[in-house]
Amino acid sequence: MAGNKISGQVWKVGHDVDTDLIIAARYLNRSEPEFLAQHCLEDLIPNLLERVKAGDILVAGKNFGCGSSREHAPIALKAAGFSCVIAESFARIFYRNAINIGLPIIVAPEVSRTVQEGSKLGVDPVSGEIKDLTTGTVFRGEPFPPFMLEILGKGGLIPYVREKVKNRG
Amino acid sequence: MGMTITEKILADHAGLAEVSPGELINVKLDLVLANDITGPLAIKEFRKIGVDRVFDKDKVVLIPDHFAPAKDIPSAQQCLEIKEFSREQGLTHYYEVGRNGIEHCFLPEQGLVVPGDVVIGADSHTCTYGGLGAFATGVGSTDLAVGMATGEIWFRVPESIKFILKGKPRNPWVTGKDYILAIIGKIGVDGAQYKAMEFTGEAIRDLSMDGRLTMANMAIEAGAKNGIIEPDEKTLAYVKERAQKPWKVYTSDPDAAYSEVIEIDVTNLEPQVAFPHLPSNTRPVSQATQVKIDQAVIGSCTNGRWEDLVVAAEIIKGKKIHPEVRAIVIPGTQEIYLRAVKEGLVEIFVNAGAVVSTPTCGPCLGGYMGILAKGEKAISTTNRNFVGRMGHPESEVYLSSPAIAAASAILGRIGSPEEVA
């Protein structure tokens, strides 16, 4: 995904959106992405899947993804069609999980305070540049450390490690 | 410059003389853990890496505990997947229902984790083992898959916050759960984000091992990477009885650097209750006594240990659960369950009108065994009270110690043991 620019319409959620809200445990007896997508954020945004368009962007407040280690959460968001999550801050396990499965996420504190629901954003996940295409305002997200960029560049942790393991012989 | 206990354990496992916060390092793993929810996803990712075997069949632990004994066919399928993988890989530490327990109660009890270990688990409450002086943290299934395949994982070395707990609580019902709820109430659910929470001071030294494990368990509820307590004579007495391998005691240097030092005097601390819908929404129990409850849950990886059941039984003995309340008691492991049978605790609970379940994570995460209907309220010794955590999105969970949950079960509303004496 590295280098691929993203653009999409904004969905907004508040602070401390936890992994139970992103995908409730009652659905964790299955792990197919399509199934998880059907219940993504359902207790917060009713009928999300019917309304979300592929490529849309989720903008959140502080501490997005707090709680459980369930990777089902970023998988559900990605499968529901979100191309990117931008938040004031992320919970650390969620952050790792999103990078590991190749879901771009960007820490950009100003975005949730400024950008309106329904606005269109253009995002460069590598540089962290975020542009509000409606108002023209440009935001700077925190850039990824080079090591994480490498993981994202390979498409996630598994392709990255697969290559390392292969080279080791 | 000295190092903290967290930094020392990480440095040693990375083969480095020293590390400092912010550094990205590659760390060797002593134990890798998953359950029936996170394990199947980890196995799926493991298959993609291109190795046939796990890095060490003695260091991968798989435990069916979340939806186990299986509550439905899809759950049964997930349990089967981790069982079959364990068999295929010849894992030493696969434990079937009836011979296991809630993972974070079971692993310390069985001596599978010891001081100085580095442990990752595909379960956010893996941080529990910090109570033994291990570095332990929760990860997702993909990180876990890489851990299973390579025996290594990358970490960013966390800054540490030192919490010094001073004094002795005057209130006899104040426990480790109340300390950690008070701390989370003070710093918020992201108050320790990405950081290590190091607990120290007189009140920690006085705390039992069960209480220390409870505190470390909830470090994640403040957003921490790990919670940790330096091993002392109590830790070693606990470990000596159980350890299946050698251990190493690490301690923080006196001149170690902390991003923050927070002192808390526990002398006048009251038992705490976390109101919906965040573990940080804490109040003293005296300000919670108007809340009527429909269910009380005593158990989970936070408070399903022996000491927790003893406290609950002491309060419930000879009394009846309130007629409108369901009380569910869940011993954390089979060993605790058996002891509760032998020492008469189960009889006390059943006589009072409570349900005693086999070990499971079920109700804690709204899985099964105690789901809440719309509008229902529960007091629970578990670790999270997010929206819909225990069932319907319009239900409510209040978090407390076993003492408060037991008293509340009798009162039919949140209250203290003094009120039922």
* Predicted local distance difference test score (pLDDT) of residue A1: 45
Mark yes or no for CB contact A20/B190 under 8 Å: no
Q: Domain boundaries in chain B?
A: 5-263, 272-415
Angle of CA points B404, B408, B362, to nearest 5°: 80
User: With contact defined as beta carbons under 8 Å apart, do B259 and B160 qualify?
Assistant: yes
The pLDDT of residue B393: 96
Minimal CA separation from B318 to chain A, in Å: 36
User: Which residues of B fall within a CB distance of 8 Å from A30?
Assistant: 74
**Angstrom distances, CA of residue B289 to CA of B52, B177, B184, B416:** 57, 18, 21, 8
Each of the 169 residues of chain A gets a pLDDT tens digit; together they read 445 689 999 999 999 999 999 999 999 999 999 999 999 999 999 999 999 999 999 999 999 999 999 999 999 999 999 999 999 999 999 999 999 999 999 999 999 999 999 999 999 988 899 999 989 999 999 988 888 888 888 889 999 999 988 887 6
> Could you tell me if B387 lies within 8 Å of chain A, comparing CB atoms?
yes
Chain A from 91 to 110: CB within 8 A of any B CB? 91-93, 96-97, 100-101
Is it true that B5-263 and B272-415 share their CATH fold?
A: yes
Quick one: tokens of B9?
């354990």
DSSP letter assigned to residue B270:
P
Sort out which chain A residues have CB atoms less than 8 A from B225's CB and list them: 92
Residue-level pLDDT at A149: 85
* A106: helix, strand or coil: strand
Three-class secondary structure of residue A45 per DSSP: coil
Pick the CATH number of B5-263 from 2.102.10.10, 3.30.499.10, 3.40.630.30, 3.40.50.150: 3.30.499.10
Q: What is the pLDDT of residue A147?
A: 85
User: Given this model, what pLDDT does residue A126 score?
Assistant: 83
Q: Any bridge partners for residue A11, and if so which?
A: A58
pLDDT value, residue A148: 85
Q: Which of B50, B78, B393 lies at the smallest CB-CB distance from A43?
A: B393
Say if the ipTM goes beyond 0.90: yes
Q: Is A138 on the interface with B (CB under 8 A)?
A: no
Mutate to test the interface with A, among B32, B36, B37, B82 (most CBs of A within 10 A): B37
CATH homologous superfamily of B272-415: Aconitase, domain 3 (3.30.499.10)
Provide, as residue numbers in chain B, all residues whose Cβ is less than 8 Å from the Cβ of A162: 48-50
Residue-wise pLDDT for B388-404, tens only, equals: 999 999 999 999 999 99
Nearest CA in chain A to B145: A158
Question: Are A157 and B146 within 8 A, CB to CB?
Answer: yes
A54 close to A100: Cβ distance less than 8 angstroms: no
Q: For B184-243, how does the pLDDT look when each residue is reduced to its tens digit (9 = 90+)?
A: 999 999 999 999 999 999 999 999 999 999 999 999 999 999 999 999 999 999 999 999
Is the CB of residue A30 less than 8 Å away from at least one CB of chain B? yes
Q: What is the pLDDT of residue A166?
A: 86
Tens of pLDDT along B148-191? 999 999 999 999 999 999 999 999 999 999 999 999 999 999 99
Hey, is the C-beta of A163 within 8 angstroms of any chain B C-beta? Answer: no
**pLDDT of A4:** 66
Residue ranges for chain B with pLDDT beneath 70: none
Whether chain B has a CB inside 8 Å of the CB on A38: the answer is no
Q: Is B105 annotated as a binding residue?
A: no
- How far lies A59's CA from each of A98, A105, A140, in Å? 15, 10, 14
Looking at beta carbons, which residues of chain A come within 8 Å of B138?
69, 93
pTM: 0.97
| Structural domains of chain A in order of their starting residue, each with its CATH number | 6-167 (3.20.19.10)
Residues 154-193 (B) with a CB less than 8 A from some CB of A: 154, 189-190, 193
What CA–CA distance (Å, rounded) separates B207 from B221? 20
- Secondary structure letter of residue B127 according to DSSP: G
Per residue, the 3-state secondary structure of B174-207, as one string, reads CCHHHHHHHHHHHHCCCCCCCCEEEEECHHHHCC
